[in-house]
Amino acid sequence: MDDVWDLYREDLKRVENQIRADLKSDVPLIDTISTYLFTSGGKRFRPLLLILTSQLAGYRGDVQTELASVIELIHTATLLHDDVIDEANIRRGNKTARMLWGNQASILVGDYLYTRAQCKIVSLRNHEINEAVAEATRRMTRGELSQLAYNGDVQITEEDYLEIIGNKTAALIAAACRIGAILGECPDNNKEGIESYGWNVGIAFQLADDTLDYVADTAKLGKSIGKDLQEGKITLPLLCLLQRCSQDEVHKIGKIIGLSDFTPENLDFILKLMHHYGVIEYSFDMARGYVEKAKKSLMLFKDSMSLQALFAVADYVVDREL
């Protein structure tokens, strides 16, 4: 994966410059917050996928830089709103915008980034791209709303959970890939293959994220572990645990989920059970299953540098350390 970042460093630098240009504003609050957001990390995973898929699809123009910027603006807009909703204090090891400028500014700058992105997209006058982005963003908010509705609800099924992460995470990643395919003007079945790659990578990405929330090294994760549990978010490891453990244990877990005075002992109790029932392995295995699906979706394409890079990215989403 390091090779991929190296090979596409120049492309990603162009995206970075494009983001900066897109965010220029004469409202100081917009400038201050967006500069903070876009200089405090973020791997530019979605822009990379858009660039790689556009290459795979045979596109040789330069609009991919603008669209990659737009996708990152949308992604960042959702992070701003998510942090307000989750009352998050830390992201990527830094204070969240809401801790520095308050919830009000975070909500509005989120709205601003999204509408700014929308202006850029429609100015490119490509109906197919407009539709891909609009549908992805609708799904994202739908996923976030379902997640909120299921908060703390131990009745949630694996199917519900997969639908939520499909909407909230995979939809935008799939759209980034679809846009690459649209730029390349490839036939419909190739377009679908590329979009399906993005969807499956997106699911794998979120499955890994949700699992790392229980096992990652706090320093590397950039936030403390067990956050999802504390917020009442029931993700795959916990879901699997609830299925595998005894009735008595289910009862105890139910009492812990979303506790306002959640303690390290509560987390420890859950982590020990997770270890005992092998749910971390189960979750990573499922994530790896989606990685394989993602790779299979690209079967139609012959070997190339961008294909190899897309394979490497797919592996990376599960085997990254954070």
- Where on the chain is the footprint of its own copies (CB under 8 A)? 25, 27-30, 81, 84-85, 103-105, 107-109, 111-112, 114-116, 118-119, 121-123, 125, 127, 130-131, 134-135, 137-138, 140-142, 144-146, 148-149
- 47: which 2 tokens? 């822009």
* E-strand stretches of the chain: 90-91, 94-95
Strand partners, 91: 94
Whole-angstrom distance, CA of residue 204 vs CA of residue 188: 24
Closest distance to its own copies from the beta carbon of 30 (Å):
6
Q: Of 38 and 112, which CB lies nearer to its own copies in the complex structure?
A: 112
Nearer to its own copies, 92 or 120 (CB): 120
**Number of residues assigned to the chain:** 322
Q: Shortest Cβ distance from residue 117 to its own copies (Å)?
A: 9
Task: Pick the closer one to its own copies by CB: 140 or 309.
Answer: 140
- Would you say 169 and 204 are in contact if contact means Cβ atoms under 8 Å apart? no
Q: Compute the least distance from the CB of residue 276 to its own copies, in Å.
A: 34
Q: Please state, in angstroms and rounded to a whole number, the distance separating the CA atoms of residues 143 and 149.
A: 10
In the complex with its own copies, the residue whose CB is nearer, 142 or 223, is 142
Per-position b or e across 27-49, b if 16+ CB within 10 A of its CB: eeebebbbeebbeeebebbbbbb
What phi and psi, each to the nearest 5 degrees, are found at residue 90?
-130, 135
Judged by beta carbon, residue 5 or residue 114, the one nearer its own copies is 114
CB of 183 to its own copies, least distance (A): 17
User: How many angstroms separate the CA atoms of 182 and 237, rounded?
Assistant: 36
Minimum Å distance from CB 85 to its own copies?
A: 5
